[in-house]
């Protein structure tokens, strides 16, 4: 078992607000009061903007690790759930309006696999494999840590809402994600090891203040779909989108990390996903989705929505990253970091060289 510190052993501090919505939520958590804004502000806020996305992220985080100094009982505080619902409706409404719309689920899944031949200039993983610098990979890992340090957790919420073949298959995939019974093999632990190899701060939530809205939204989508039974079909669709696209993207990221001389722990995370997620893709496609729609065929449109909403938000994040990198800018909000960067060699290989 790894002797390194468990990233989730301590609660993160509350982040810095980015507008009236997030300011109201954060102040309410500090004071144990209701948020100071009203629902009309949420109804007119930018659904993809930093203020709404941070407010949602903070409220959802109460269901995961919580925050330092915030009472656990706030997780189900009605004064927080009511405004959270207003934020969710604004976000969900925008997603429903912006996705392409209903298609057969088979077509939606096939569209995920229809990658352009080579790099068409819009793929983050192609860019990183071809020309990414160490700092680009560090920024990418820092932003992805918002999800990967809780990897598979939001998807686990759907398990009690499934039954039969879909439930059995979902549990089988999640068992792998959670290390197949070995704590040191939990995928969130492997990602923390990757971050450590890159010289990043592995503390849970360390890069929340550094993350732009585009990096918050995909994580919020998972939490939104996971927390609502009515959206179980969409969460299955989201899970399918993640698993179907993971293997080829992970292969490119592993190659990118090898090219820049990252250590073995950094490369291992993506190597693990190349093989595992190729298997998971088939299980999710045929048994999780197949089993769900065999039992509840009326959820097909929801599954497709989950797939399309995931693609939409990932494309938005990809554009943000590539625009910044091609302009020579840091993709994070805070340019000093990667903001909470640990001052040490970038990889275990470099550390070993310094000791020889």
Tell me how crowded residue 8 is: count the other CB atoms within 10 A of its CB: 18
Q: What is the mean pLDDT of the chain?
A: 89
Q: Cα separation of 293 and 279, whole Å?
A: 20
What is the helix (H) or strand (E) element at residue 305, kind and residue range? helix 300-326
Say what the pLDDT of residue 40 is. 81
Q: What is the tens place of the pLDDT at every residue in 161-202?
A: 999 999 999 999 999 999 999 999 999 999 999 999 999 999
Write the burial class of residue 292 (CB in 10 Å: 0-12 exposed, 13-18 middle, 19+ buried): buried
Give the CATH number of domain 103-354; options: 3.40.50.300, 3.30.390.10, 3.40.50.1220, 1.20.910.10.
1.20.910.10
Say what the pLDDT of residue 1 is. 36
Contact 309, 238 (CB under 8 A): yes
pLDDT of 18 higher than 50: yes
pLDDT of 343 higher than 50: no
Strand spans (E) along 30-102: none
Contacts of 15 (CB under 8 A, 6+ apart): 22, 26, 54, 58, 205, 208, 209
Q: Cα separation of 102 and 21, whole Å?
A: 32
Write the burial class of residue 49 (CB in 10 Å: 0-12 exposed, 13-18 middle, 19+ buried): middle
Q: What is the CA radius of gyration of the chain?
A: 20
Q: What is the tens place of the pLDDT at every residue in 143-157?
A: 999 999 999 999 999
Q: Cα separation of 203 and 140, whole Å?
A: 16
Q: What is the tens place of the pLDDT at every residue in 291-320?
A: 999 999 999 999 999 999 999 999 999 999
Mean per-residue pLDDT for 245-266? 92
DSSP labels, 126-187: HHHHHH--HHHHHHHHHHHHHHHTTTTHHHHTTGGG--HHHHHHHHHHHHHHTGGG-GGG-H
Domain ranges of the chain: 8-96, 103-354
pLDDT-based confidence at residue 8 (cuts at 50, 70, 90): confident
pLDDT-based confidence at residue 275 (cuts at 50, 70, 90): confident
Say what the pLDDT of residue 352 is. 40
Q: What is the tens place of the pLDDT at every residue in 211-227?
A: 999 999 999 999 999 99
């Amino acid at each position: 078992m790894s002797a390194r510190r468990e990233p989730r052993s301590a609660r993160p501090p509350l982040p810095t607000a980015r507008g009236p919505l997030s300011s109201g939520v954060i102040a309410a958590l500090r004071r144990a009061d209701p948020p100071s804004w009203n629902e009309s502000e949420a109804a007119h806020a930018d659904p993809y903007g930093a203020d709404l996305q941070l407010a949602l992220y903070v409220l959802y985080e109460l269901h995961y690790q919580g925050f330092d100094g915030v009472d656990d009982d706030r997780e189900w505080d009605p004064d927080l759930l009511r405004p959270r619902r207003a934020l969710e409706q604004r976000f969900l409404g925008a997603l429903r309006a912006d996705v392409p719309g209903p298609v057969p689920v088979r077509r939606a899944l096939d569209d995920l696999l229809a990658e352009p031949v080579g790099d068409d200039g819009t793929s983050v993983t192609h860019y990183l494999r071809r020309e990414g610098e160490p700092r680009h990979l560090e920024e990418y890992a820092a932003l992805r840590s918002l999800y990967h340090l809780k990897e598979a957790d939001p998807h686990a919420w759907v398990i009690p809402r499934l039954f039969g073949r879909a439930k059995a298959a979902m549990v089988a995939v999640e068992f792998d994600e959670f290390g197949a019974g070995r704590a040191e093999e939990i995928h969130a632990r492997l990602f923390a090891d990757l971050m450590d190899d890159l010289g990043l701060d592995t503390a849970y939530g360390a890069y929340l203040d550094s993350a732009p809205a585009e990096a918050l939204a995909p994580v919020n989508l998972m939490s939104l779909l996971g927390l609502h039974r009515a959206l179980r079909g969409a969460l299955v669709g989201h899970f399918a989108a993640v698993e179907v696209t993971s293997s080829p993207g992970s292969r490119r990221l592993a190659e990118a990390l090898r090219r820049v001389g990252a250590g073995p722990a950094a490369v291992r995370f993506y190597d693990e996903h190349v093989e595992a997620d190729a298997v998971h893709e088939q299980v999710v496609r045929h048994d999780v989705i197949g089993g769900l729609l065999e039992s509840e065929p009326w959820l097909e449109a929801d599954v497709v929505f989950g797939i399309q909403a995931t693609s939409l938000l990932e494309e938005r994040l990809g554009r943000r990253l590539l625009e910044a990198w091609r302009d020579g800018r840091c993709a994070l909000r805070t340019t000093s970091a990667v903001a909470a960067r640990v001052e040490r060699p970038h990889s275990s290989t470099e550390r070993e060289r310094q000791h020889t």
